[in-house]
Amino acid sequence: MTIPRQGPLQDRAKADIAQSGHAAARPSDRRAAELAAGLRRSRAMIDPKFLYDTQGCVLFNAICELDEYYPTRTERAIFETHRDAIVGALPAGAQWVDLGCGDCAKSRGFLAHADVRRYLGVDIAVDWIRAEVDRLGRQFPGIDCVAVAADFAQGLDLSDELGDVARMPPVFFYPGSSIGNFPPERAVGLLGAIRGQTGPAGCLLISADLRKDPGVLEHAYADDLGVTAAFNRNVLRVCNQVLGSDFHPECFDHEACFDAAHGRIEMHLVARAPQRVRWPGGERAFQAGEAIVTEYSYKYTPAQFEGLLAEAGFSRCRMWTDARGWFGVFLAQP
């Protein structure tokens, strides 16, 4: 569903809303089915996209300000230090495609300096992004700002929203190392879908968390104040709302550990005691100590990540990093 602030897509948005009485149940049913399927797996799993309802977005923004959570401030410092070089490498007259835009904060610094005609904020949390994209449009009245509700974990096709990419080349912006939530083979699939929509002059500006000491990684995902624990447990409340389950979040402990064999952080919710969780049409018994996997976050070396980009069809790549080499910002072009 597309909710434009202004411009020629408005009639289409009204048509979408007019038909919503018939279509609204379908996404909800799909989300419930996806949650149920994950809970029925031999190793129970909840897709990390369910972490980001409105309350989850608020909690994640709080996580980003914690001392332990280095990615946000490290990425911000890279953007500030190298912004001129990054902007100088972008196409002119572009449309800025902010994948997983949240509060649009990371795009603001670029929109103030880059030659951008149009902004597309893409996120699964539609109620959240409507207000945020509208606020962005008031700050940048010369840029046509559009909110796009999409679950691009299930596939990314923005061809209708992008229009003529030869006339207005897209800059796909995917910060925050969110690509790490996808296993490498799925990451290549998403990157390939982006490459298929860049056109001849578009590009991808993307961040990736780099390999480092496991203790640093684990502490970033298990802070001393317990904000990440609250963020993780919140997903059980989302399950209760979407699936109709009867989880008691307080009965699960938050855990984060680095899996060196796969090069990833794993976030778990671990049952404190034996319990049975029910939902319409299903149930799951958890033993004490049994875990639900709620997030994988893959960490890469620069060479590994450039390899993913090349496999997805990007033939040119530049990287900017911090002094410690903890985090990478990559500009990938056809």
pLDDT of residue 324: 97
Residue of 286, 280, 219, 273 whose CA lies nearest to 245:
280
CA-to-CA distance for 195 and 204, rounded, in angstroms?
8
pLDDT tens profile 165-191: 999 999 999 999 999 999 999 999 999
Coil, strand or helix: which one is 70? helix
Is domain 24-248+300-334 classified as CATH 3.40.50.150? yes
pLDDT tens profile 9-60: 222 232 232 223 333 346 688 999 999 999 999 999 999 999 988 899 899 9
Burial class (CB in 10 A: 0-12, 13-18, 19+), 62: middle
Residue-range domain boundaries for the chain: 24-248+300-334
Matching residue, tokens 């009639």: 11
pLDDT of residue 26: 60
CB 239 within 8 A of CB 209: no
The length of the chain is 334
% of the chain with per-residue pLDDT over 90: 83
CB 47 within 8 A of CB 38: yes
Alpha helix stretches (DSSP H) within 140-247: 159-162, 184-195, 214-220, 227-243
pLDDT of residue 27: 66
pLDDT (tens digit, 0 to 9) for every residue of the chain, 334 residues total?
Answer: 333 333 322 222 322 322 233 333 466 889 999 999 999 999 999 999 999 888 998 999 899 999 999 999 999 999 999 999 999 999 999 999 999 898 899 999 999 999 999 999 998 777 778 889 999 999 999 999 999 988 877 789 999 999 999 999 999 999 999 999 999 999 999 999 999 999 999 999 999 999 999 999 999 999 999 999 999 999 999 999 999 999 999 999 999 999 999 999 999 999 999 999 999 999 999 999 999 999 999 999 999 999 999 999 999 999 999 999 999 999 999 9
Matching residue, tokens 């990371």: 106
User: Residue 151 contacts by C-beta under 8 Å, 6 or more apart in sequence?
Assistant: 49, 124
